[in-house]
């Protein structure tokens, strides 16, 4: 019985083996971080979990069932994600972006929506109440009705987190949540990750470079290099693991 597990996951692009037999499992309620130098295959693992490309080998299990199908099936299972280079809906407002996150909780069908029956109205109000909780949590009220296209990077990063939370996931994948943020914003991000874990009870799987953030919020850390697992354990253990030090600083030969 495991909450989320990846078994022997591998993918090759042409002749390049990007991920090579990676296995790990995430316990419900923890913050699990994947670290590794650039090109280690961290984001590729996320894309494999999201079924954006098919793996060459291995399988992904969520709540003891295999994750398969198209990317939208992953989301419907309760796995949400953010992207390294923000992928928001640029020409929509912040509110609309978050509401799109509510898509998997849609209760109305096309015909009802065309006529905008009272049922649709009630559903829309309910969706807005749910979104408003996320807006409150992440302090986004000020930007509620602004178009995403004009907002600064730091805010967009938060909106992306909000959009993932709006899906009410059981597991959230954060792809470098602190990249491009200044120290203050990174600090806020750390608080939110703790909130997500402790208050919302959502399990977090994240890829991150900022070791301060990693040690602060992570329960366990997995280190990758060249597509292979080189160490796993608490942040302290992994940071002092010789293979990790070698991967980051280069071999001694």
Residues that bind another protein (CB under 8 A): 43, 47, 50, 52-53, 70-72, 74-76, 80-81, 83-85, 87-92, 95-96, 99-104, 106, 108, 110, 113-116, 120-121, 124-125, 127-129, 132, 149, 163, 167
Nearer residue to another protein within complex by CB, 128 or 241:
128
In the complex, what is the shortest distance from the CB of residue 72 to another protein, in angstroms, rounded to a whole number? 5
**Closer CB to another protein, 81 or 220, in the complex:** 81
Instruction: Report which of 33, 73, 7, 66 is spatially closest to residue 203, judged by C-alpha positions.
Output: 33
Locate tokens 């299972």: which residue? Answer: 77
Could you tell me the smallest distance in angstroms from the CB atom of residue 17 to another protein?
Answer: 18
What's the count of helices (H) and strands (E) in the chain, helices before strands? 10, 10
Task: Using alpha carbons, list the distances in angstroms from residue 125 to 122, 130, 153.
Answer: 5, 9, 29
Nearer to another protein among residue 50 and residue 235 (C-beta): 50
Q: Tell me how crowded residue 43 is: count the other CB atoms within 10 A of its CB.
A: 18
Say how far apart CA 210 and CA 179 lie, in whole Å.
8
177 or 235, CB closer to another protein? 177
Question: Could you tell me whether strands 31-35 and 4-13 are parallel, antiparallel, or unpaired per DSSP bridges?
Answer: unpaired
What is the closest distance, in whole angstroms, from the C-beta atom of residue 38 to another protein in the complex?
14
Q: Which is nearer to another protein, 79 or 217 (CB)?
A: 79
What is the closest distance, in whole angstroms, from the C-beta atom of residue 106 to another protein in the complex?
A: 4
**In the complex, least distance from residue 237 CB atom to another protein, rounded to whole angstroms:** 31
* CB of 138 or CB of 221, closer to another protein: 138
- Nearest-angstrom CA–CA distance, 6 and 238: 20
Q: How many Cβ atoms from other residues are within 10 Å of residue 236's Cβ?
A: 10
Please state the closest distance from residue 133 (CB atom) to another protein, in A. 12
Q: Is 216 helix (H, G, I), strand (E, B) or coil?
A: helix
Question: Among residues 8 and 76, whose Cβ is nearest to another protein?
Answer: 76
Residues 6+ apart with CB under 8 A from 79: 49, 50, 62, 67, 169, 170, 171, 172, 173
Shortest Å, Cβ 85 to another protein: 7
């Amino acid at each position: 019985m495991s909450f989320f597990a990846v078994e022997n996951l591998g993918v090759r692009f042409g002749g390049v083996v990007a991920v090579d037999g990676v296995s790990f499992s995430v316990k419900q309620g923890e913050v699990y971080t994947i670290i590794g130098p650039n090109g280690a295959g961290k984001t590729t693992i996320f894309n494999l979990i999201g079924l954006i490309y098919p793996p060459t080998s291995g399988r992904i299990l969520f709540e003891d069932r295999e994750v398969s199908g198209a990317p939208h099936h992953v989301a419907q299972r309760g796995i949400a994600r953010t992207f390294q280079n923000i992928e928001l809906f640029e020409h929509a407002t912040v509110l609309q972006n978050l509401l799109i996150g509510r898509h998997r909780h849609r209760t109305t069908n096309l015909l009802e929506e065309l006529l905008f029956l009272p049922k649709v109205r009630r559903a829309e109000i309910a969706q807005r109440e749910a979104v408003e909780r996320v807006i409150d949590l992440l302090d986004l009220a000020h930007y509620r009705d602004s178009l995403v296209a004009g907002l600064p990077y730091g805010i967009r990063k938060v909106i992306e987190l909000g959009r993932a939370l709006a899906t009410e996931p059981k597991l959230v994948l954060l792809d470098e949540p602190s990249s491009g943020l200044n120290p203050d914003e990174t600090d806020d991000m750390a608080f939110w990750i703790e909130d997500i874990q402790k208050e919302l009870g959502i399990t977090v799987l994240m890829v991150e470079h900022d070791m301060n953030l990693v040690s602060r919020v992570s329960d366990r850390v997995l280190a990758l290099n060249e597509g292979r697992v080189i160490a796993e354990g608490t942040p302290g253990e992994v940071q002092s693991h010789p293979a990790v030090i070698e991967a980051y600083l280069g071999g001694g030969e």
